[in-house]
Amino acid sequence: MPKTVTFTKNHPDAIVPSYAHPGDAGADLCSVEDYMLKPGESYLFNTGISMSMPNDWVGLVHPRSGLAAKKKVTVLNAPGTVDSGYRGLIKVNLINHGTEPVSIAVGDRIAQIVFQKFETATFVETEELTSTIRGTGGHGSTGD
């Protein structure tokens, strides 16, 4: 059974986040402003929505695959993080990786939000970490 996420509309053009299909993980977020996103430009789009979610949840703002594939527009800080204590406007930082300007209009679906439960950690300083097979191998350590 789904948990409740309450929201407020802070703009007359705000659209309630919604799932396109049963079983979808992400609910669509829509823009409340018109903007022409130039190639290489990023812009912080207002959705006109504020949310309240359970304390052990996070809202992760992901790109919409169609917008990315067709127009080369994606979420710059993907996934964007909406903490459970945040009550401000949900904004989406889009970037145009294409070579043509992309018009975003009021009501356009610009991103999707996925809700997840999370755990917080207690940090304990130690002199030495436990060893593993991987060790300190980082970026590129497993090949191409």
- The string of pLDDT tens digits covering residues 88-131 is 999 999 999 999 999 999 999 999 999 999 999 999 999 999 99
Q: Check residue 10 and give left, alpha or beta (phi > 0: left; psi -120 to 50: alpha).
A: alpha
Q: Which helix (H) or strand (E) holds 65?
A: helix 65-71
Rg (the chain; Cα; Å): 19
Q: Which domains does the chain have, with CATH numbers?
A: 6-117 (2.70.40.10)
| pTM of the model as a whole | 0.89
Please say whether the beta carbons of 47 and 82 come within 8 A: no
Task: Give all strands of the β-sheet with 89-96 in edge-to-edge order.
Answer: 6-9, 42-52, 89-96, 73-75
What pLDDT band is residue 74 in, cutting at 50, 70 and 90?
A: very high
Closest by alpha carbon to 16, among 24, 7, 3? 7
Q: With a cut of 90, say whether residue 81 has pLDDT above it.
A: yes
What pLDDT band is residue 144 in, cutting at 50, 70 and 90?
A: low
Considering the chain, what percentage of its residues have pLDDT values greater than 70?
Answer: 97
What is the torsional sign of CA 34, 17, 79, 124?
A: positive
- In the chain, the amino acid numbered 84 is S
What pLDDT band is residue 137 in, cutting at 50, 70 and 90?
A: confident
Q: What is the DSSP string of 95-138?
A: EE-SSS-EEE-TT-EEEEEEEEE---------SSPPP-SSTT--
